């Protein structure tokens, strides 16, 4: 899910919580626990794993991993592959014992009664994450953001705000890397308002009748993603200062997305253009590029390597 999405249903996932046993905390796989259904419209920073004690000699990763979905996306299905595996929950925790893994949910529906925009989404992300990082130990956790499409714009805005607001100085200081999946830093030719709205009603996404008639089309969010949008340009320039101290990995799609039969986000738009950026092609379309199929996939290997590098205790 990203510029355009087909469905907003949530898969059954563990309602994860956090427990401490002994003096050492680490991950206990949520996928091994009984599963319960998540509310379809639950917004905020949602945990995907839980913790139990492990032997102190075990390798753990002191890190917070935060995934941010895109336009009309969903905190769960955006990251769920064709085998119905929410890889953030089913793959990642076993690779990163000790990590806290979250998915950030915000109202990015194209048809919505919400008036919230990028500023509000970024502020909510910062506020929610700050609440999770109030103990001395948690404030020393590194932070890795994983972003799909519009989620990357939200992340960049949050880090720009964090640089200006001392309440979020810890988040700014401990953010180590951002992995962008198809984020349109320069916008998308396919995001013209007319074509988007037309295709919404022609099954690009599934929208219920009540949504269509009781909610308005979020033209502000769609317009933001238009090619060379000035807000995107200004945000990218502001983010360049912060990006100099971050590891940046930008994945871009190489398969066209139906019904356009074009790339929704081109290689040029998916790159930030800083010297340290790692630019990686993926053989998927815009929606599928973040639905990791298995632990041997190129994106997953890069992602785990990045998380381990900044999460390992020294």
Structure tokens at 246: 């971050």
Look at residue 102 in the predicted model and tell me its pLDDT.
98
Structure tokens at 185: 């830093």
> Is 185 contained in some domain?
yes
For 236-291, write each residue's pLDDT tens digit: 889 988 888 999 999 999 999 887 788 889 999 999 988 789 999 999 999 999 99
> Is 28 contained in some domain?
no
Q: Which long-range contacts (CB under 8 A, 24 or more apart) does 258-261 make?
A: 258/285, 259/199, 259/202, 259/204, 260/190
How many domains are contained in the chain? 1
Q: Please give the residue range of the domain that contains residue 173.
A: 43-311
Token pair 């945990």 is at which residue? 47
> Is 33 contained in some domain?
no
What DSSP element (H or E) covers 87?
helix 87-90
Look at residue 56 in the predicted model and tell me its pLDDT.
60
Closest CA relative to residue 299, chosen from 91, 43, 84: 91
> Is 191 contained in some domain?
yes
Structure tokens at 13: 């996932």
Q: Is the peptide bond before 259 cis (omega within 30 degrees of 0)?
A: yes
> Is 32 contained in some domain?
no
Query: Residue 291 is part of a domain; what is its CATH number?
Result: 3.40.50.1820
Look at residue 18 in the predicted model and tell me its pLDDT.
27
Structure tokens at 121: 């989404």
- Answer for the pair 209, 291: CB distance below 8 angstroms, yes or no: no
> Is 12 contained in some domain?
no
- Answer for the pair 137, 60: CB distance below 8 angstroms, yes or no: no
The pTM of the full predicted model, rounded to 2 decimals, is 0.81
Low-confidence ranges of the chain (pLDDT < 50): 4, 6-39, 52-53, 191-207, 209-210, 212-215
What DSSP element (H or E) covers 26?
strand 26-28
> Is 20 contained in some domain?
no
> Is 36 contained in some domain?
no
């Amino acid at each position: 899910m990203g510029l355009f999405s087909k469905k907003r249903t949530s898969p059954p996932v563990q309602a994860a919580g956090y427990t401490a046993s002994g003096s050492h905390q680490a991950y206990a796989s949520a996928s091994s626990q009984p599963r319960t259904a998540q509310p379809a419209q639950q917004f905020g920073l949602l945990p995907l794993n839980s913790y139990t004690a492990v032997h102190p000699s075990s390798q753990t990763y002191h890190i917070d991993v935060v995934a941010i979905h895109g336009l009309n996306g969903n905190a769960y299905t955006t990251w769920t592959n064709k085998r119905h595996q929410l890889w953030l929950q089913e793959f990642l925790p076993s690779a990163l014992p000790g990590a806290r893994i979250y998915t950030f949910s915000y109202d990015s529906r194209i048809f919505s009664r919400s008036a919230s925009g990028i500023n509000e989404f970024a502020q909510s992300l910062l506020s929610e994450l700050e609440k999770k990082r109030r103990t001395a130990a948690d404030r020393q956790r590194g932070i890795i953001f994983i972003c799909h499409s519009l989620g990357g714009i939200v992340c960049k805005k949050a880090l720009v705000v964090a640089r200006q607001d001392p309440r979020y100085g810890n988040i700014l200081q401990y953010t180590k890397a951002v992995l962008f999946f198809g984020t349109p830093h320069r916008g998308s030719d396919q995001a013209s308002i007319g074509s988007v709205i037309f295709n919404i009603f022609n099954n690009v996404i599934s929208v219920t009748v009540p949504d269509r008639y009781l909610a308005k089309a979020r033209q502000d969010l769609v317009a933001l993603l238009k090619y060379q949008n000035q807000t995107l340009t200004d945000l990218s320039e502001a983010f360049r200062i912060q990006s100099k101290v971050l590891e940046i990995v930008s994945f871009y799609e190489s398969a066209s997305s139906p019904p356009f039969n074009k790339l929704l986000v081109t290689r040029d738009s998916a790159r930030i253009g800083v010297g340290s950026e790692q630019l990686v092609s993926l053989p998927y379309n815009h929606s599928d590029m973040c639905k990791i199929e298995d632990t041997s996939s190129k994106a997953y290997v890069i992602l785990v390597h990045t998380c381990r590098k900044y999460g390992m205790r020294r």
